[in-house]
Amino acid sequence: MSIEPNPSSGGKPGAGGEYIAALRGVHYAVDEKRVFAGLDIGIRRGEVTAIMGPSGTGKTTLLRLITGQIQADSGEVVVDGQDVARLGRADLYALRRRMGMLFQNGALLTDIDVFENVAFPLREHARLPERLVNAIVLTKLHAVGLRGAAHLMPQQLSGGMARRVALARAIVMDPEILIYDEPFAGLDPISMGVVMRLIRSLNDALGISSIVVTHDVQEVSQIADSSYILSEGRVMASGTPRELQSHPSPIVHQFLEGLADGPVPFHYPAPDYREQLLGPGGGAG
């Protein structure tokens, strides 16, 4: 069941060509701290693209650039042929209706139950007969395996279940792009497996493009078609998971292998150890 998106001026599907979303030469800084220094990323249509990197590389910031919640200092952020930064409010909202996002902690609305949470975008954007809403919501819940939990409150759900409900909500309007912000964080192995399976199968079954931001290398490597590894505000490496395994860069190697020390040092910068312990001169009483 698909809901026709409102036609907007420049958003014809397929307008972006091979890439449904792209960032070109993006620079962004917050309070003098440079987050991105010339970022180039392309999200291919119909693929699962993983974006990885050590903590603090601004992965969430990247997502907010794509959804238009923040604007880059320079460079382009293009989604489906439209420059996100130049869109007016109405066009931006029209574009967002074609995206779905899964937040790290689910971000379900706590004052309504699971069913209403999933139905939320439908109720806000379309005036559908109640039977149709019911059918759509239950279908989406079924896709994530939680049709039976429709009348629980978010507080009653486990972390994994909450995230799956959020996923059902993200797909209820049949988006063209699905964005996952740390979908595996804090889940037990079973839930992780469930989420992995859902990301891949939804991507293929619904014919959408998925962006997964994460640092769970093992998990995402099994489902991603292509990956980007970010470091220090730019792309360190990109390619298929297989290509990245044999990448020469030491930082990529450290990241993928999960090594404690390497280009990203174990020790936070500190003065000389001996001096701090024993006093200057080393050993003088």
Partner 1 sequence: MSLARDLLAGARDFLARAGALSRFFGRLLLLVPGGLLRPRLIVDQVYNAGALSLAIIMTSGLFVGMVMGLQGHDLLSRIGSEESLGTGAALTLLKELGPVVTALLFAGRAGTALASEIGLMRATDQLSAMEIMAVDPMRRVVLPRFLGGVISMPLLTGIFVAISIYGVQLIGVQYFGIDQGQFWSEMRSTVEIEDVREGLIKGFVFGVACSLIAVFEGYNAEPTAEGVGRATTRTVVVSAVATLVLDYIVTAILL
Touching partner 1, residues 169-208 (CB under 8 A): 169
Among 61, 81, 103, 193, binds partner 1 (CB under 8 A): 103
For residue 115, what are its two tokens? Answer: 């069913």
Q: Which of residues 67-96 bind partner 1 (CB under 8 A)?
A: 67, 69, 93-94, 96
> Which residues, in sequence order, are CB contacts of 269 under 8 Å at separation 6+?
none
- Does position 163 bind partner 1 by CB under 8 A? no
Give the residue, chosen from 3, 85, 107, 138, that forms a contact with partner 1 under the rule CB under 8 A: 107
Those residues with Cβ within 8 angstroms of residue 132's Cβ, 6 or more apart along the chain or in another chain: none
Answer whether 178's CB lies under 8 Å from 203's CB: yes
**Tokens 């059902």, residue?**
168
Closest to 65 in 3D by CA, of 43, 47, 46: 43
Q: Compute the least distance from the CB of residue 78 to partner 1, in Å.
A: 18
Nearer to partner 1, 2 or 110 (CB): 110
Nearest to 86 by CA among 78, 94, 13, 15: 78
3 state SS of 207: coil
Q: Which is nearer to partner 1, 111 or 272 (CB)?
A: 111
Q: Is 155 in the site for partner 1 (CB under 8 A)?
A: no
**Which residues are paired to 36 by β-bridges?**
28
Q: Is 110 in the site for partner 1 (CB under 8 A)?
A: yes
**170: helix, coil or strand?**
helix
CA 229 – CA 244 distance, rounded (Å): 9
Q: Are 39 and 234 within 8 A, CB to CB?
A: yes
Of 270, 262, 268, the C-alpha closest to 231 is 262
Q: What is the closest distance, in whole angstroms, from the C-beta atom of residue 175 to partner 1 in the complex?
A: 10
* Residue 99 lies near partner 1 (rule: CB under 8 A): yes
Looking at the Cβ atoms of 107 and 138, the one nearer to partner 1 is 107
Min dist CB 255 to partner 1, Å, is 26
| 61 scored as a contact of partner 1 (CB under 8 A) | no
Residue count, binding to partner 1 (CB under 8 A): 22
Please report how close the Cβ of residue 39 comes to partner 1 at its closest, in angstroms: 21
Closest CB 125 distance from partner 1, rounded Å: 7
Q: In the bound complex, what is the minimum distance in angstroms from residue 174's beta carbon to partner 1?
A: 13
Shorter beta-carbon distance to partner 1: residue 168 or 252: 168
Which whole-number Å values give the CA distances from 251 to 50, 216, 247, in the listed order? 17, 16, 10
**Cα torsion 97, 102, 104, 110: sign:** positive
Pattern 113-152, partner 1, x by CB under 8 A: -------xx--xx---------------------------
Burial class (CB in 10 A: 0-12, 13-18, 19+), 145: middle
Contact residues for partner 1, defined by CB under 8 A: 67, 69, 93-94, 96-97, 99-101, 103-105, 107-110, 120-121, 124-125, 166, 169
